[in-house]
Amino acid sequence: MIGIIDYGMGNLHSVSKALERLNVSYFVSEKADELEKADGLILPGVGSFKDAMAILQKDGLADFIVQWATSGKPLLGICLGMQLLFEESEENGVTKGLRLLSGSVRRFSGVTEEGDSYKVPHMGWNQLNFQQPNHPLLDEVEQGHVYFVHSYAVQTSDVDVLIASSSYHQIVPAVVGRGNVMGTQFHPEKSSAIGMKMLENWTAIVEGRKNAGEYVSNLSSH
């Protein structure tokens, strides 16, 4: 059973519909005691990092998510939800994140090294490039195009966290993870067959139908 965390800033409908298409049981809740009963949690997100963290902290969900992840249970962040997994963001002033993964969230500059301007946000379909092609999230997934909508991107020096990337005038971490904590910057539920296959792989990991081996382990062991 998958729990979708509802904190008022998530793309709940599209994620729910994607799980329904996969015939995966799920529920949506904003209560930690209910979410605790899930086998895996999805942290969706659309909007401001600062606002999202304020809500998660106010409702006690930030501490719950950290405890969940450090106990070794599967967690998947999507879009803003992925960014929240990292140490901090500069959006609307520096704000600390959940600090489950190493890195920070920075805004696209909107200017190339040559001084030319480019559009922000990064919106539309873009190519995936695999850094860890054997990761269970990428099992039978093509290096095709997926759908992005974001003005901020993760910057990390921890190469082990990077599962797949894309490029938009800089390297964009597109799929990240360490142990049981994983995330996608793009929207898998809106990314056609590639995104749906990745969601299917994650639910298979949660349900124990896919052997994740060394990739899924207690976060505290790293």
Upstream peptide bond of 133 is cis (omega within 30 degrees of 0) = no
How many structural domains is the chain composed of? Answer: 1
Catalytically annotated residue among 91, 135, 150, 189? 189
Range of the domain at 185: 2-221
Tens-place pLDDT, residues 133-142: 999 999 999 9
**pLDDT of the residue at 30:** 95
What is the reported pTM?
0.93
**pLDDT of the residue at 11:** 82
Residue 212 pLDDT greater than 50, yes or no: yes
Mean pLDDT of 194-220: 75
Tens-place pLDDT, residues 54-85: 999 999 999 999 999 999 999 999 999 999 99
Q: What is the CATH number of the domain that holds 50?
A: 3.40.50.880
At residue 18, φ and ψ (nearest 5 deg) are -65, -45
Q: What torsion, rounded to 10 degrees, do the Cα atoms 149, 150, 155, 161 define?
A: -40
Catalytically annotated residue among 135, 150, 187, 200? 187
Residue 217 pLDDT greater than 50, yes or no: no
Which tokens hold the place of 187?
């929207």
What's 166's DSSP letter? E
Which tokens hold the place of 218?
């207690």
CB neighbours of 159 closer than 8 A, spacing ≥ 6?
Answer: 131
At residue 201, φ and ψ (nearest 5 deg) are -60, -40
Distance, in Å, from the CA atom of 33 to the CA atom of 169, rounded to the nearest integer, reads: 43
Mean pLDDT of 44-51: 94
Is 91 annotated as catalytic?
no
Contact 180, 69 (CB under 8 A): yes
Mean pLDDT of 24-34: 96
Tens-place pLDDT, residues 142-153: 999 999 999 999
Upstream peptide bond of 188 is cis (omega within 30 degrees of 0) = no
Is 13 annotated as catalytic?
no
Distance, in Å, from the CA atom of 81 to the CA atom of 219, rounded to the nearest integer, reads: 18
CB neighbours of 209 closer than 8 A, spacing ≥ 6?
Answer: none
**pLDDT of the residue at 207:** 87
**pLDDT of the residue at 209:** 65
Which tokens hold the place of 114?
């040559």
Contact 205, 212 (CB under 8 A): yes
| Arithmetic mean of pLDDT over the chain | 92
Percent of the chain with pLDDT over 90: 90
What's 6's DSSP letter? -
Residue 219 pLDDT greater than 60, yes or no: no
- pLDDT interval class at 110 (50, 70, 90): very high
Catalytically annotated residue among 79, 122, 150, 200? 79
What's 138's DSSP letter? G
- pLDDT interval class at 222 (50, 70, 90): very low
Distance, in Å, from the CA atom of 121 to the CA atom of 42, rounded to the nearest integer, reads: 24
Contact 179, 216 (CB under 8 A): yes
- pLDDT interval class at 208 (50, 70, 90): confident
